[in-house]
Amino acid sequence: MAEQFRTAWAGACIYEYAEIDSTNLCAARLADQGAEHGTLIVAQSQTAGRGRRGRGWESPAGDNIYMSLILRPDFGAEKAPMLTLVMAYSVVQALEEAVCDRVKIKWPNDLVIGTKKICGILTEMKLLETAIDRVIIGVGINANVDTFPMEIRNTATSLKLETGKAADCSALIGRILEKFEANYDAFAVKQDLSDILEGYNHRLVNKDREVRILEPGNEYEAVARGINSAGELLVQKKNGELETVFSGEVSVRGIYDYV
Ligand code: BTN
């Protein structure tokens, strides 16, 4: 697989598995043993695929993408959440070039086609005192799966279902790494999202749409206006005031059944 990558460091070292518990968990174990910046873990299937907020990630064998990248940044831990957005943007760029130009970003890091999810990203960080030991970015892409369990049938789709063609997963992983490496290197210099801001907002499905902000103890409706260079979502409340949202769940009307 590595021979397909035109990268300097992303994927320079690769661990491939037919089956693993979770590529993120495997990456954490390898990172604890000293795995380098750019180490990639890829699996054909996961027995304990993990999603955000303690959810699982459906991970059958059948030519989907389950991958995790180990990063050893030397910037401050407060910058790390932005890496998720850098990855989301990199995956969209790769998919646009190679597979489908209808992929959009649901802030901060879900990728959707139409109203259905095609890709999820799980970023996990470990600190040593206050400095970053490592960041692990896990990416799950529904590539060639044909059917989904009942619970997610209305909210998930795959590249194959959307395009009618089987996606070449190895080639796609290579392209994602190329995009991510370039975007990460630019991010590491400025330590903000200014280089990808315009491109990210251009692909943001939330932009100028009604969203429901689901912050603990504070739920409200607003219109999303795009992200700023810190990765926060700017939303306009009904009274015209602008607010920045930096974490928490955001529902977009018409996406994942929010009506
Ligand atoms: C989400 O909830 O949207 C995030 C899903 C992330 C899934 C990927 S699959 C590869 C990596 N390994 C995991 O266990 N999870 C991530």
Q: Determine if ligand 1 sits within 6 Å of the CB of residue 23.
A: yes
* Token pair of 133 as six digits: 């030991």
CA of 44 to the centre of ligand 1 (A): 13
Please name which of 1, 135, 167, 149 lies closest in space to residue 69, comparing C-alpha atoms: 135
* Residue 166 binned pLDDT confidence (cut-offs 50, 70, 90): very high
Rounded to whole angstroms, how far apart are CA atoms 8 and 178? 9
Q: What integer is the mean pLDDT of 13-21?
A: 97
CA of 121 to the centre of ligand 1 (A): 5
Q: Which of 21, 24, 44 to mutate to test the pocket of ligand 1 (most atoms within 8 A of CB)?
A: 24
pLDDT at residue 5 is higher than 70: yes
Question: What is the residue-averaged pLDDT of the chain?
Answer: 93
Q: Hunting for tokens 């769940």 — which residue is that?
A: 249
pLDDT at residue 257 is higher than 80: no
Q: What integer is the mean pLDDT of 226-250?
A: 89
pLDDT at position 254, please? 60
Provide the terminal-to-terminal Cα distance of the chain, rounded to the nearest Å.
Answer: 43
pLDDT at position 216, please? 75
Q: What integer is the mean pLDDT of 125-151?
A: 95
CA dihedral 242, 246, 252, 258 (to 10 degrees): -120
Q: Determine if ligand 1 sits within 6 Å of the CB of residue 142.
A: no
Q: Answer whether 198's CB lies under 8 Å from 209's CB.
A: no
Work out the percent of the chain whose per-residue pLDDT is above 90.
Answer: 80
Q: Determine if ligand 1 sits within 6 Å of the CB of residue 104.
A: no
Q: Determine if ligand 1 sits within 6 Å of the CB of residue 108.
A: no
pLDDT at residue 258 is higher than 60: no
* Residue 170 binned pLDDT confidence (cut-offs 50, 70, 90): very high
pLDDT at residue 132 is higher than 90: yes
pLDDT at residue 172 is higher than 80: yes
What string of H, E and C letters represents the secondary structure of 76-104? CHHHCHHHHHHHHHHHHHHHHHHCCCCEE
What confidence tens digit (pLDDT) does each residue in 70-94 have? 999 999 999 999 999 999 999 999 9
Lowest mean pLDDT among 16-25, 26-35, 49-58, 188-197: 49-58
pLDDT at residue 117 is higher than 60: yes
